[in-house]
Amino acid sequence: MKKWILLSAIVSQQVLAAPPCSPETSPGKVCEVEIAQLHPTQPGIGLLQVNAEQQKLSQKSAKKLDNYLAKKEIPVVISPAGDYWLVDRHHLTRTLWQMGKTKTDVRIIAHLVDQKTFWQQMATNHWAWLKNEQGQRITPEQLPAHIADLPDYPYRSLAGLLQDEGYFEKKEQVYFVEFAWASWLGDKMNWAAVNADNLHERLEQAKTLACEPEAKSLPGYPGKMCSAKTR
For residue 9, the model assigns a pLDDT of 41
pLDDT band at 14 (very low <50, low <70, confident <90, very high): very low
Residue 227 — pLDDT band, cuts 50, 70, 90?
confident
Calculate mean pLDDT across residues 57-80: 95
Q: 3-state SS of 58-83?
A: HCCCHHHHHHHHHCCCCEEEECCCCC
Q: What is the DSSP string of 15-28?
A: HHSPPBP-TTPPTT
Is residue 8 scored above 90 in pLDDT?
no
Which residues lie closer than 8 Å to 98 by C-beta, 6 or more apart?
50, 51, 54
pLDDT mean across residues, the chain: 91
Minimum mean pLDDT among 8-22, 42-56, 193-207: which range?
8-22
pLDDT value, residue 140: 97
- Residue 166: pLDDT over 90: yes
The answer to whether the peptide bond before residue 222 is cis (omega within 30 degrees of 0) is yes
- Measured at the CA of 87, the angle between CA 86 and CA 92, to 5 degrees, comes to 70
Give the start-end residues of each E strand in the chain: 30-34, 38-40, 75-78, 84-86, 103-111
- Please state the φ and ψ torsions of residue 178, each to the nearest 5 degrees: -60, -30
Residue 97 phi, psi (nearest 5): -65, -45
Q: What is the percent of the chain with per-residue pLDDT over 90, rounded to a whole number?
A: 86
User: For residue 35, which of 117, 100, 121 has the smallest C-alpha distance?
Assistant: 100
What region, left, alpha or beta, does residue 11 occupy, with left being phi > 0 and alpha being psi -120 to 50 degrees?
Answer: alpha
- Give the model's pLDDT for residue 16: 65
Residue spans of the domains in the chain: they are: 18-149, 154-226
172-216 tens-digit pLDDT: 657 899 999 999 999 999 999 999 999 999 999 999 999 999 999
CA distance 74 to 158: 22
Of 133, 140, 103, 114, the residue nearest 21 (C-alpha): 103
Over 90: is that where the pLDDT of 2 sits? no
pLDDT bin (cut points 50, 70, 90) of residue 154 is very high
Q: What CATH fold (topology level) applies to the domain 154-226?
A: Helicase, Ruva Protein; domain 3 (1.10.8)
Give the class (CATH, top level) of 18-149: alpha beta
When pLDDT is averaged across residues 127-154 and rounded to a whole number, the result is 97
